[in-house]
């Protein structure tokens, strides 16, 4: 890891503070970078015009006892990586060959989007219990690197 990786991971951590997820340990940020330039950012939060978990005063997943790494569709939030990729599409910004910095390892749904968007490298800090995502990224030719930080390995 070089100084740029550290700089962009700091930005991902900052973006994570904007997340509207009710659970403090689920504030996740993502930054897509190409040629040392920030192209887009994303954090986990509800779609535009939809009440967030914070506004609702509860987490649907926690209320229903949904295990981490499962049933991704049962959540009001869109993942940080998805929001960053969606933002690039919305703005007409190419992210082909980019690096995605994320505070957490992507799930399999995000991994599929990462592969198809042309992102070539993912740098993440904290693990996530989704081994299929690791397989998907590897088979899709995406380099996955664990940022040397304080985050726990493969668990959140």
Establish how many alpha carbons lie within 13 A of residue 56's alpha carbon, considering only the half-sphere containing its beta carbon.
19
Beta bridge partners of 102: 30, 124
Q: Which residues are identified as catalytic?
A: 81
Q: Is 78 helix (H, G, I), strand (E, B) or coil?
A: strand
- How far apart, in whole angstroms, are the C-alpha atoms of residue 156 and residue 151? 9
- How far apart, in whole angstroms, are the C-alpha atoms of residue 74 and residue 54? 16
Cα-Cα-Cα-Cα dihedral sign, residues 2, 127, 142, 47: negative
């Amino acid at each position: 890891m070089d100084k740029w990786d550290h700089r962009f991971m700091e930005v991902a951590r900052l973006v994570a503070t904007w997340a509207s997820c009710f659970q403090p340990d689920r504030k996740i940020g993502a930054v897509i970078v190409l040629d040392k330039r920030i192209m887009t950012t994303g954090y986990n939060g509800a779609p535009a015009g939809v009440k967030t978990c914070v506004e609702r005063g509860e987490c649907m997943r926690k209320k229903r006892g949904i295990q981490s790494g499962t049933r991704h569709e049962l959540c009001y939030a869109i993942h940080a990586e998805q929001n960053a990729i969606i933002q690039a599409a919305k703005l007409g910004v190419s992210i082909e060959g980019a690096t995605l910095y994320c505070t957490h390892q992507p799930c399999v749904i995000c991994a599929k989007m990462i592969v198809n968007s042309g992102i070539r490298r993912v740098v993440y800090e904290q693990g996530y219990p989704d081994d299929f995502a690791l397989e998907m990224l590897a088979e899709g030719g995406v380099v996955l690197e664990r940022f040397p930080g304080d985050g726990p390995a493969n668990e959140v």
